[in-house]
């Protein structure tokens, strides 16, 4: 079975900037994959190369076995891209636009699928509205619909939730999750690490054009991040000396203590008890992707 | 050429048709103003080829000028608008070949040129009785002219990063070439030197050949004109196709 996306030693330079430095990456069919990294890490360049919007200097990329340059027609049929920028064509209504986009992909009479996509994105009542008259969030939904008109097996969403309200975010993720469950491969870039953590089975982190971490989300979380015990002591008491070195005070006056494993909770409580400190509030914080992200980016120098 | 090409052509035609007031009615009005002013000033004083009234002489020139300017405007403005607003990606993401891309934009340009040219022709029917000596020549030059300017418009639209660069291309290249091509005069009325210069202007052959279709006479043979125009159209097309194939400024 061909990989949904196969990237082999991809390099791209813009003037002096090395946007991609020999990137290798395989994404299997059916995955929900996250592509994370700070601004300028090369995420959009990578996506543009897959979509044929940018030509790599060297290396190759293929979608479901079709080379994005040599077999560009087939490769592009397999791929649906939701671009990062909120772009739209002001001359047309939503339905006209989706019909035209279907036609570009060689699909005639696509209205059944168009209606389904519109319904799933809560756009049905906007179908005959001109693009110019839609709000930013509605335009974002249309971008998603446009990327899906040709039922692409591989869907790439480049920061689809940047500046988007909660309702749309939920609608969008419900729909994309459904698509993923139906077998579509989904690749997502986002700066909302919580989203990536909840949605993605596997994650690659990019920095300065290189992949600096690549693993399943759960491995990344357990590998890089420890659990944290958050405590608030009664009467504003300080941590006893035995714990002071390990604890950090948060701005609200609580303390957080990093744990190597859960057994340590007991010993921490024991020390507190011995010192006569009384716990007012306590919470066990699970590792989150943000910590992993920060530590990976830091380690990668 | 498949459905993708036909859809892109349809979309490009629909694009200008939807704003027809600006893309069709406005240039027809402009041509009308030229006709009213120049014919008012010159009708009594100028006869061309000793027998053709100035207004009758002027009309084919105005029609052709409208065809050319609007064909250029269509492809160039569509591309620069799409580039500046970013919605160019909607035509770059689908599986369209660079040949289909080229053909759709150029044919849409021909379409707009013919619609505007046809509009000017219809309106001028009130003012002059035209003869149609060789309708096929009329059609051939109108279509070739639209293609030539459509291709040139594509190059300009792809090259320009900003609207003012495109405006410069239009004002400093297209306008002088069309105004100095014999739209308003026969080059035989020019000093010899300027007649010679005019022969280096491909638009001159378009206007002259087009006019030949109406009156059966021109400044040069229509076959020569056809050759020059076909050559220029081929040249601009090859340049455009090369630019598209390389992805210059469109696929970074």
Q: How many domains does chain B have?
A: 1
- In a domain, residue B47? The reply is yes
Mean pLDDT for chain A overall? 91
Q: Which pLDDT belongs to residue A298? A: 82
Stretch B34-55: mean pLDDT: 82
Mean pLDDT of the B73-90 span:
96
For residues A30-60, one letter each, b for 16 or more C-beta atoms within 10 angstroms of the residue's C-beta and e for the rest, the string is bbbbbbbbeeebbbbbbbbbbbbbbebeebe
What is the pLDDT, as a whole number, of residue A8?
96
Cβ separation of A81 and B251 shorter than 8 Å?
A: no
Instruction: Round to whole Å and give the CA distance between A171 and A179.
Output: 12
Beta bridge partners of A17: A14
Q: Do B93 and A81 touch (CB under 8 A)?
A: yes
What percent of chain A clears pLDDT 70, i.e. is strictly above it? Answer: 99
Note whether A146 contacts B90, CB cutoff 8 Å.
yes
Measured distance CA(B233)–CA(B235) in Å, rounded: 5
> CB-based burial of residue B53 (10 Å sphere; 0-12 exposed, 13-18 middle, 19+ buried)?
middle
CB–CB contact A81 B86 (8 Å): no
Q: Which of B19, B91, B247 sits opposite A104 (nearest CB)?
A: B91
> Which of the residue ranges A100-104, A281-285, B85-89 would you say has the lowest mean pLDDT?
A281-285
| pLDDT surpasses 70 at B99 | yes
Q: CB-based contact (8 Å) between B244 and chain A?
A: no
Hey, which residues does A230 pair with through a beta bridge? A256, A283
In this predicted structure, what is the pLDDT of residue A301?
A: 66
Would residue B176 count as lying in a domain? yes
Span B81-88, average pLDDT: 95
CB-closest option in B18, B95, B247 to A91: B18
Three-state SS at A160: coil
| CB-based contact B8:A104 (threshold 8 Å) | yes
pLDDT surpassing 80 at residue B213: yes
Position B46 pLDDT exceeds 80: no
Neighbours of B192 (CB within 10 A): 7
Q: Which helix (H) or strand (E) holds B65?
A: helix B54-85
| pLDDT at residue B215 is higher than 80 | yes
Joined together, the tokens standing for residue B20 give 């027809």
Identify the pLDDT of residue A252. 80
Q: Is residue B252 part of a domain?
A: no
- When mean pLDDT is compared across A43-57, A250-264, B145-159, B235-249, the lowest value belongs to A250-264
pLDDT at position A117: 95
Using DSSP, state whether A154 is helix, strand or coil.
strand
Residue B51 has pLDDT above 90, yes or no: no
Q: Has residue B221 been placed in a domain?
A: yes
**Subunit contact B252:A14, Cβ cutoff 8 A:** yes
A159-208 residue pLDDT tens = 988 777 888 889 999 999 999 999 999 999 988 888 899 999 999 999 99
Domains of chain A in start order, with CATH, are 5-222 (3.40.50.300), 226-287 (3.30.70)
Give B-chain residues touching A87 at CB under 8 angstroms. 85-87, 89-90
The conformational region for residue A121 under phi > 0 = left, psi -120 to 50 = alpha, else beta, is: alpha
Helices B54-85, B26-42: crossing angle, 10 deg rounding = 150
- Give the pLDDT confidence score for residue A225 in this predicted structure: 59
Per residue in B168-212, pLDDT (tens digit) is: 999 999 999 998 898 888 888 888 888 888 999 999 999 999 999
Kindly list the residues from chain A whose CB atom is less than 8 angstroms away from the CB atom of residue B96: 104
Mean pLDDT calculated for residue range B87-91: 95
Residue A134 confidence class, pLDDT cut points 50, 70, 90:
very high
Give the C-alpha distances (Å, rounded to integers) separating B7 from B10, B32, B198. 5, 34, 40
CB contacts, 8 Å: B11 with chain A: 100, 103
Question: What is the pLDDT averaged over residues A23-41?
Answer: 95
CB contact under 8 A, B95 and A103: no
Which of B3, B14, B86 is the closest to A106 by Cβ? B3
pLDDT, position A271: 87
The torsion angles phi and psi of B223, rounded to 5 degrees, stand at: -70, -40
Would residue B38 count as lying in a domain?
Answer: yes
Report the predicted TM-score, pTM, of the whole model to 2 decimal places. 0.89
Rounded mean pLDDT of A121-135? Answer: 95
Calculate mean pLDDT across residues B218-243: 96
What does the pLDDT read at residue A192?
86
Nearest C-alpha in A relative to B1: A106
Q: What is the mean pLDDT of residues A59-70?
A: 96
Which domain covers residue B49, as residue numbers?
3-246
Q: Edge-to-edge strand order for the sheet containing A210-216? A: A79-82, A154-158, A185-189, A32-36, A202-207, A210-216
Whether residue B251 lies inside any domain: the answer is: no
d(CA B86, CA A94): 17
pLDDT in tens, A218-249: 888 887 657 788 888 888 788 888 888 888 88
Partner residues linked to A255 by β-bridges = A231, A249
Supply the ipTM of this predicted assembly. Answer: 0.91
Interchain proximity A89–B90, CB inside 8 Å: yes
Across the interface, whether the CB atoms of A104 and B8 are under 8 A apart is answered yes
Most confident of A102-106, A226-230, B247-251: A102-106
Q: What is the mean pLDDT of chain B?
A: 93
Q: Look at residue B242 in the predicted model and tell me its pLDDT.
A: 97
Nearest to B95 among A48, A77, A85 (CB): A77
**Could you tell me if A164 and A130 are in contact, meaning their C-beta atoms sit under 8 angstroms apart?**
no
Chain A residue at shortest CA distance from B97: A73
The stretch B69-92 carries a mean pLDDT of 96
CB contact under 8 A, B19 and A81: no
Residues of B (84-143) whose Cβ lies below 8 Å from A: 85-87, 89-97
Contact A100 B7 (CB under 8 A): yes
| Listed residue (B162, B160, B140, B164) closest to B152, CA to CA | B160
Mean pLDDT of the region A104-120: 95
């Amino acid at each position: 079975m061909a990989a949904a996306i196969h990237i082999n030693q991809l390099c791209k330079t813009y003037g002096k900037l090395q946007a991609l430095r020999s990137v290798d990456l395989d994404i299997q069919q059916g995955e929900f994959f996250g592509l994370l990294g700070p601004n300028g890490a090369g995420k959009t360049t990578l996506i543009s190369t897959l979509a044929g919007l940018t030509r790599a200097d060297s290396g190759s990329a293929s979608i479901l076995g079709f080379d994005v340059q040599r077999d560009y027609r087939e490769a592009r049929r397999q791929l649906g891209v939701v671009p990062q920028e909120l772009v739209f064509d002001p001359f047309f209504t939503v339905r006209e636009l989706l019909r035209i986009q279907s036609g570009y992909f060689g699909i005639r009479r696509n209205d059944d699928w168009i209606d389904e996509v519109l319904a799933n994105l809560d756009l049905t009542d906007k179908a005959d509205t001109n693009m110019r008259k839609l709000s930013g969030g509605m335009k974002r939904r249309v971008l998603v619909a446009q990327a899906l008109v040709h039922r692409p097996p591989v869907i790439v969403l480049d920061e689809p939730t940047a500046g988007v309200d909660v309702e749309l975010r939920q609608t969008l993720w419900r729909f994309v999750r459904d698509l993923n469950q139906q077998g579509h491969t989904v690749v997502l870039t986002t700066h909302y690490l919580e989203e990536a953590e909840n949605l993605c089975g596997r994650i690659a982190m990019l920095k300065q054009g290189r992949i600096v971490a690549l693993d399943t989300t759960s491995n990344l979380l357990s590998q890089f991040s420890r659990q944290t015990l958050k405590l608030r002591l009664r009467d504003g008491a300080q941590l006893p000396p035995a714990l002071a070195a390990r604890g950090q005070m948060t701005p609200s006056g609580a303390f957080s203590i990093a744990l190597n494993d859960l057994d340590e909770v007991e010993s921490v409580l024991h020390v507190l008890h011995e010192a006569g400190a009384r716990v007012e509030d306590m919470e066990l914080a699970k590792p989150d992707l943000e910590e992993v992200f920060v530590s990976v980016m830091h380690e990668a120098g | 050429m498949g459905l993708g090409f036909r859809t892109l052509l349809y979309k490009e035609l629909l694009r200008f048709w939807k704003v027809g007031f600006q893309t069709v009615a406005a240039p027809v009005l402009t041509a009308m103003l030229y006709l009213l002013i120049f014919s008012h000033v010159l009708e009594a004083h100028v006869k061309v080829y000793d027998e053709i009234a100035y207004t009758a002489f002027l009309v084919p020139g105005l029609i052709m000028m409208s065809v050319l300017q609007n064909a250029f405007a269509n492809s160039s403005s569509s591309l620069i608008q799409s580039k500046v607003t970013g919605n160019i990606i909607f035509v770059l993401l689908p599986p369209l070949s660079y040949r289909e891309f080229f053909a759709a934009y150029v044919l849409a340009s021909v379409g707009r040129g013919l619609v505007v040219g046809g509009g000017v022709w219809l309106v001028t029917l009130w003012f002059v009785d035209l003869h149609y000596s060789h309708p096929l020549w009329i059609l051939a030059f109108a279509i070739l002219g639209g293609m030539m300017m459509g291709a040139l418009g594509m190059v300009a639209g792809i090259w320009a990063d900003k609207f003012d660069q495109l405006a410069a291309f239009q004002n400093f290249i297209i306008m002088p070439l069309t105004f100095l091509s014999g739209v308003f005069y026969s080059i035989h009325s020019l000093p010899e030197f300027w007649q010679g210069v005019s022969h280096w202007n491909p638009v001159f052959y378009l206007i002259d050949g087009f006019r030949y279709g109406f009156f059966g006479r021109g400044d040069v043979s229509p076959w020569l004109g056809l050759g020059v125009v076909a050559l220029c159209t081929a040249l601009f097309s090859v340049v455009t196709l090369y630019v598209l194939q390389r992805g210059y400024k469109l696929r970074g």
